[in-house]
Structure 1
Amino acid sequence: MDGTDEEDGMDVFRFCPLSFAEVRPRGRQARPMPRSGHRLVCDGSDLYLFGGFCPRLSPQHASQMDADPVWAESRPLFKELWRFNMAAREWRRLPCEASLPRELASSAACMRGGVVFLFGGSGFPFGSACSNRVFRYEARAGGEVRELQTSGARPRPMYGQAVLLVGPHLYAVGGTTGFEFSSDVHRLDLRAGRWEEVYVSTGAAPEEPSGRYRHELALHGERLFLIGGGTGDRACSLKSVHAFHLRERRWERLATHEDDAWGFPSSRRYHGFAQLGAGAYVVGGFDRGQILGDAWRLDLGSLRWSVLPSCSLRQSVYFHATAVTPAGCLYSFGGVKALEGDCTRSGGLCRAWLCVPSLEEMCREAVRHYARRCPLFSRDRLASCGLPPTVLAPIFS
């Protein structure tokens, strides 16, 4: 990412991968309130932010929300779905609140082919009302969020589950009722709308993972990798990871290898996560009373950890939400930034490039950087200079 992109008075574009920088929305348009326990997914052009929780807003934010009838009904949860256009840097609250589920905290979410999938989650107080329902939102068409009608061996209503799309199936692993923790594996055939019980943990096999919530999933070959998570008072170690073999339907426990200089990442739950190719990225989180801000990469082929010292979050947080674009740009929004105080939630958005993208992508970044600072760089003028529509369209849409 261009590390000077957001700093006033420093106008030279520089591309700096593996470094988080603040993303400042354009203008004074509405934007999401500080929150935690929300979910973030994305495609190549937009972020989608769902739900979340904030026990206490600042006086300034509270005054902005006082006239919001949806907030008056759902507080301290946010019954909202927001879209952030990454090129234009503009937030928009989507007008679909009436069709959103009531379980708005620690849901699971994923996105593919322009469709956002939402699963599970909790109302407030946490665990008082949990969900095993699946919703879908057609991002390109807009409109309402629709519940999928499903049958078969449905998972128990829970929150803090993890989901991943594998072919025509939505896999769901683990979660909690608020009292019990699971590591069961279910999958939903999206063609038939039918749930299947793939593996029920009994504790009899030593390779089974312990029950947990707020873990994450990665796919490599025929294995689903279970990364982190924990219970209300325990975080899972990252010195080993559990992998579920999709074809053989069995768990394995695999030792990971430490970074030569930095060792292993600390155990953690409530962390940010993204997968890019064979790399699984863990950012921030919480363990033993400490809010974390470090960033690590696990190579899913060699199972070796690498610390990313330049890619630490700008502010240590947990219960934040992350998503990575197909081109490799990781976004992080919100989270818990302090254990005590009146305003413990963040409403900040930041991003870091996890790789060096294509030259066209870097060109688009540079054009956006300068176009925002100089009104002479109009779309027509840049087009007359020979810049192709593929570069200009996302910036001036």
Structure 2
Amino acid sequence: MAHSELTVSNNLFNEFKTCTELQYNGKLNIKSLKGHQWTFYYRLGRIVWATGGTHPFRRWRRHLAQNCPQIDVDKLQLRMQDISIDYWDYRLLEILYKKQKIQREQIQTIAENTISELLFDISQQGNFTSLSCNRSQEVILETPMSFTSADMSMKHTQDLWKIWSEAGLANFSPDLAPVLRRPEQLQQLVNPSVYKNFVNLINGKHTLRDLATKMKQSVLPLSRSLLPYILKGIIELMEVADLPLLITEANNNLNPTQPKKSIAPLIACVDDSPQVCKMLEEIITSNGLRFIKIQDAVQALPTLIEHKPDLIFLDLIMPVASGYEICTQLRRISAFANTPVIILTGNDGLLDRVRAKVAGSTDFLAKPVVADRVMGIVRKYLARQTSSPVKSASNVEVCN
């Protein structure tokens, strides 16, 4: 089958090979035309960690649950500073190791499985879109706990992809979630116990990888067993958002008897256009609200984490990081799980709306920005969040 021969483009294969030959220390960044990104961390020419992709937190939870059953993921108390770095997933494993909650061997297994999973995803993406890569030494993991040979991992990935492709699954990502669309038809084809399992598990909340972990089997046989029902339209594979991180807010040691001052809601705008930022600033501040502008997409996440705005206007198309990517990252953080994220776009197409919704956006606002529409959005979503009534566009009531 042709797909199995297209696993990794020559330039990407050569890049992995070059990193090995140079005994490279640093990051190898890979990006697809569709906006997907992956990062491989190298130490002395070997891969020590990898991150990125569609569902980084789902993946982290899954591997931790699978390899460290003594850890209850939902009871972990995560701090904002631990997850605000690019390699937050590795950092959390380091913390658990230093606290003697997990063993080095468990980290090694998680690292190897994570690297294998991301190489597979890159292989699948590389069959349908072009990939670009670049090296950066801005981050070097100093104390890696696992060293993986890129050559061996790539060979293993090629074998896995060939089997996946030959099973008729080349067009289906294991990060898609199956949902039961025709239960009556399924009931006629399987016995009652199998039907009950389908109804309980095939609900659109768990990806194929999640389900395989729950059922303690490999994702390949699971996906292959579902394929006949997918082809008949009984089951549909759909995209799902990543899971949010659960963050423990730090105690600010305020005197509990001292009443807090109520301040006006803070609105953020992430847009590389100075004109758009200026227009939004004039609209927002003239209505008595606070405003912060972020024109550098790279600084968007740390700045938003620092200021914690009540509502975010987010440009869809920006250099380096798109609105999709920033929105996805925000939704991983519990502090932003319910923050309204309004996508700013000049191309209000159905595809953009669907993709932004999957990334976790709340609503859309078409450019050029107009005061009535901007304040209509603000009234709509801030009124749900705060007890302070938000009245008209020309008279927004705030507390001083």
TM-score, normalized by length of structure 1? Answer: 0.23
**Larger helix fraction of residues:** 2
Counting strand residues as a fraction of each chain, which structure ranks higher?
1
For the pair shown, the structure with the greater C-alpha radius of gyration is 2
Q: Structure 2-normalised TM-score?
A: 0.23
